[in-house]
A and B are shown apart, each in its own frame.
Chain A
Amino acid sequence: MQEERRTRVYELLAHDKSIYLQISEMIETDIMRGILEEESRVPSTNELAKLYAINPATAAKGVNILVDEQIIYKKRGIGMFVSPGAKDRILQKRRSMFYENYVKGLVVEAESLGISKEELINMIQES
């Protein structure tokens, strides 16, 4: 488990994104995949800092994004837990970002390569 997570973070670290965003996205992905179930405890800021060898302040920033979005919640003195309905909320958020993050770029690149809309749609249907 630990090994798998570390490999993933190295891949992600190669990307352009800020580390705190990577941390919040990784937790989200674990929730979507059911690795972290609703009402289960989320690794603490310090655990995340140690696991990924990142600054605790950066880990806290990533976690706080999820608290603000009510994907996880704090139980005082106990830790952080996955909110009920978190999975649906993440799914909705990612779906609304899908167009911006993937479709737009796909269409622009297809256009610059001279691939027509029809050809693109055919490719999607075949894939």
Chain B
Amino acid sequence: MATLVCENIVKNYKDKKVLEGVNLEIEQGKIYGLIGRNGVGKTTLLSIMTAQNPATSGQVYCDGERVWENRKALDHLCFSREINTMTPLGPNTLKIKEYFRVAKALYPNWDQKMAEELIEHFGISIKKKINKLSKGMLSMVTIAIGLASKADITILDEPVAGLDVVAREDFYRILVEEQASTGRTFIISTHIIEEAAAVFEEVIFLDRGNVLLKSNTEELLSRALHVTGDADAVDAATEGLNCHHAEMMGRSKGVTVLLEPGQQLKEGYDVTVQPLSLQNLFVALCGKEA
């Protein structure tokens, strides 16, 4: 089992700053959710964490060892990326089983039986060519490769993209069962936040090139509140607190509050306090236009 640490990761593509000094520690045995808006640098960060993309500056360590060009460290990691139906040379006519053959060479703990069973479970033939697969089927192949890699730290980039609701449910079940029975670490990036919230032990919000927050999901939600009421009362009750995403409607006001440990709303004001879903909290914190 392994831990992964990012130290001050900076990534620039020409003049564009994508990551602006990311510090992140991934502990073993947890399912992490990586959430961020389009173009915020999620895939870039994940590819740097697994040494598939060099950082402009900063280091990634797996169990204290640099991962860059380090076979020993990389043996602990799997980044199952989105598979394209096109290659620079034309349509991708490789078969799923050929992808599995590559994966077997790449991952020392590769479980061929599990990979084949998952593909069969998803109702796909292992002999199918990649360019004949739908978007959902491509996601299923990346899921099968990620899970069957049996890597200590397995990263899945938008694994549920294109999957219907039944297949998504199915994936979450397979994921928690695998995690519970092996203690592996998973990092899952997704845009479908709400239905996955219960699956993530911790969530990481990535916003504008940096980690906005990393927290235990339950703990985070327990200190996130939506406060509404008369604007003056809301302002008084939330004075000095971390307020986000204020919305005015005539004299009434709604605001999202993220309490720090030990903080609470000021008592004695006529306001309505409601808990927030992870999705609404994300919108409140990261939804503002850049």
* Chain A residues proximal to chain B, CB less than 8 Å: 13, 16, 18-20, 45-46, 49-50, 52-58, 61
Contacts and interface: CB of A to CB of B under 8 A. Distances in A.
Given A13-B198, A54-B176, A61-B218, 9 more contacts: A16-B274, A16-B275, A46-B177, A46-B181, A52-B198, A53-B198, A56-B176, A58-B198, A58-B201
A52 B175 CA distance: 12
Given A54-B199, A57-B30, A20 B218 contact: yes
A54 B199 CA distance: 5
B285 interface: no
Interface of B: 30-31, 169, 172-173, 176-177, 179-181, 198-201, 217-218, 221-222, 274-275
Contacts of B30: 57
A18 B201 contact: no
Contacts of B275: 16
A53 B221 CA distance: 18
Nearest to A44: B180
Contact of A53 (B169, B181, B222): B169
A16 B273 CA distance: 11
Contacts of A18: 218, 221-222
Contact of A46 (B180, B198, B199, B222): B180
Contacts of A45: 180
Nearest to A45: B180
Q: Which of B30, B218, B275 has the largest number of chain A CB atoms within 10 A?
A: B218
26 contacts: A13-B198, A16-B274, A19-B198, A20-B218, A45-B180, A46-B181, A49-B176, A49-B177, A50-B177, A52-B198, A53-B169, A53-B172, A53-B173, A53-B176, A53-B198, A53-B199, A54-B176, A54-B199, A55-B31, A55-B176, A55-B200, A55-B217, A56-B176, A56-B179, A56-B180, A57-B201
Given A18-B218, A18-B221, A49-B180, A55 B199 contact: yes
Top 3 nearest A-B pairs (CB, nearest first) are A46-B180, A53-B172, A56-B180
